[in-house]
Structure 1
Amino acid sequence: MDDEQIRQLIDAVDDAGVAVMAVYGREIAVTQKADDSPLTDADLASHRALVAALESMEPRLPIVSEESAEIDFATRQTWDRYWLIDPLDGTKEFIKRNGEFTLNVALIEKGIPVFGVVHAPALPEGPTTWWGGRDSGAFKRVDGGVVERIRVRQLPDPDRAPWRIVGSRSHGAETFEAFCANLPRHERVSMGSSLKLCLVAEGLADLYPRLAPTCEWDTAAAHAVVTAAGGDVLNAETLEPLRCNQKESYLNPFFIVCGQRDGRWEQALEESLALPAANAQ
């Protein structure tokens, strides 16, 4: 994507964030989707705003959204490039009004998230946007201020500084506990939505093991930011890069986000995945 397309995309996501915040500021009506996950007017308002903007930018490019995902795999298999969006990632956090929710837009090429924008419109420090791509590097902007280039940090010596492990605010797992139990000295940070991946991208966390279900739209945008910042998003079992649009289901395998590969956490991950709780997923 060129600079003008990036600007247009960031502006579109910012505008969708304004639509989300209009709902955030009033009583939130919640319904349940077929999978029992919550749905609000904000999900739908963001979906409509993002789809309209993307269709204007790239009229011929297909769009997959969490709120319009009934596209059969036979069709999706024919796509080399498409948009993958989550209009409101962290709906549970949105309902709790803790600010830890995001709008996610990713450009996918041949199964790889090559560009992504993550926008958090309700953080205490102000609306915050992360973006990055294969050819552009990774960046962060807070409350319309200075654009900051971001990068993952080098994994510290745990005897001098603890590793920082980020986990879900709403989804705990016995497998996650087992993983952490086998790590060197570390501290934990809890966070909702795709913000967890962004913490790794900007060097505020070292590892994010996701050992519970997610879908591709939950992760693709922040995945692109992480890789643009020098990190990796890896299949937890194979330690190969996570891919999109490889199967009928949109479900991700378990995965781990890292700023740096290290045999100590790789061994801990292997041991945690061998537990019955992991195999039962």
Structure 2
Amino acid sequence: MPARDGDLADLQLLTEAAQAAGAIARRFFDGEAKVWDKGDGQGPVTEADLAVNEHLHGFLGQARPGYGWLSEESNPLGNLARLAHERCFVIDPIDGTRSFIDRQPGFAHALAVTDKGAPVAAVVHLPMLDLTYAAVRGGGATLNGKPIAATQPEGPLGATMLVARPALDPVHWPGGVPPVKREFRPSLAWRLALVGEGRFDSMLTIRDSWDWDIAGAALIATEAGARVTDRHGHPLRFNRAEARSPGVVAAGPALHAALMAGLTGDAA
């Protein structure tokens, strides 16, 4: 389906918002940000996360007051007013907070607009690396304004995969662990975008994945020609009450099929 004018306008809005978010994050990255632990195993949060979230909420909410709001740093599971909106912002102010705390540049701002649960506009911006991935439904995907495309390997032999080491434990692969070359990046959104860019052939996470980590980057990878599903092969849907999916698998269609055969034990 061709890109719609409303989706393109939302993409422009997200791009402006992401660039401003990057400027805020850089100030904290070059200085000193307070760090807290959220508790209940949720991990750390910093002043930068909260400052970026506040800016995005104000900027995007003013521009699109009729949209819902789902952000990691805005009580995402408690405030369900977003479910009443067909269109919703899905935001991770800083994806890769631990990397940010450690002064590693591989963190990202992940922004998306969803329509009835499907992403229609997306930006993943890595300010310290000067990388801006973007996509609009039906309009393809870009990196710094230039079109990108996922690789299309025929199978897993020799293919590269962005994946945490525990996810390749044979217990998860009744059909056999795929013979892939493993690498890793800290930001889940960046991992998906890198598949869209074609720098890596696939990515996989076994663990439940929050909407704000994956909604935008899933559109980027999909528009670049990858197939993106949950770990069971089902389509991803966003802005539901639980705001998470059972893992993510992204790769060109043939490799995706082979990976799903390994995960499920069914013949490809």
Question: What's the TM-score once normalised by structure 1's chain length?
Answer: 0.83
Paired residue type of 1:25: D
Contact 1:235/1:256 (<8 A) preserved: yes
- SS of aligned partner of 1:191: coil
The share of aligned pairs that are identical, in percent, is 29
Which ranges of structure 2 fall in alignment gaps of 5 or more residues? 1-5
Are 2:111 and 1:105 equivalent residues in the alignment? yes
Paired residue type of 2:209: T
1:70–1:98 CA distance, 2 compared to 1 (3 A): closer
- SS of aligned partner of 2:253: coil
Cα distance between partner residues in 1 of 2:112 and 2:197: 18
Are 2:213 and 1:218 equivalent residues in the alignment? yes
Match of 1:18 among 9, 13, 23: 23
**Alignment partner, residue 162 of structure 2:** 166
Alignment of 1:138-149 (within 5 A): 138-141=141-144, 147-149=145-147
Are 2:224 and 1:232 equivalent residues in the alignment? no
Match of 2:128 among 122, 130, 135: 122
- SS of aligned partner of 1:261: helix
Match of 1:253 among 230, 240, 246: 246
**Alignment partner, residue 150 of structure 2:** 152
- RMSD (Å), alpha carbons: 2.3
Larger mean CA deviation between 179-188 and 223-232 belongs to: 179-188
Paired residue type of 1:149: P
- SS of aligned partner of 1:77: helix
1:87–1:95 CA distance, 2 compared to 1 (3 A): same
Paired residue type of 1:96: D
| Deviations 1:211-266, CA, capped at 9 Å, x for gaps | 023211111110111111122221212x12111133x3223212211222344322
**Alignment partner, residue 58 of structure 1:** 64
Paired residue type of 1:9: L
**Structure 1 residue 164 displacement after superposition:** 0.8
Paired residue type of 1:154: Q
**Structure 1 residue 183 displacement after superposition:** 4.7
**Alignment partner, residue 88 of structure 2:** 82
Paired residue type of 2:148: I
- SS of aligned partner of 2:161: strand
Higher RCO structure, 1 or 2 (CA under 8 Å, sep 6+): 2
Cα distance between partner residues in 1 of 2:92 and 2:178: 35
Cα distance between partner residues in 1 of 2:85 and 2:254: 32
| Deviations 1:109-141, CA, capped at 9 Å, x for gaps | 111112110001112xxx110010212210011
1:76–1:2 CA distance, 2 compared to 1 (3 A): closer
| Deviations 1:139-185, CA, capped at 9 Å, x for gaps | 011xxxxx2101111115666xx2011124xxx52x43336893554
Cα distance between partner residues in 2 of 1:134 and 1:187: 31
Contact 1:201/1:259 (<8 A) preserved: no
**Alignment partner, residue 98 of structure 2:** 92
Question: What's the TM-score once normalised by structure 2's chain length?
Answer: 0.87
Cα distance between partner residues in 2 of 1:14 and 1:24: 15
Cα distance between partner residues in 1 of 2:200 and 2:251: 9
**Alignment partner, residue 186 of structure 2:** 192
Match of 1:39 among 32, 37, 45: 45
1:243–1:49 CA distance, 2 compared to 1 (3 A): same
User: How many pairs were matched up?
Assistant: 256
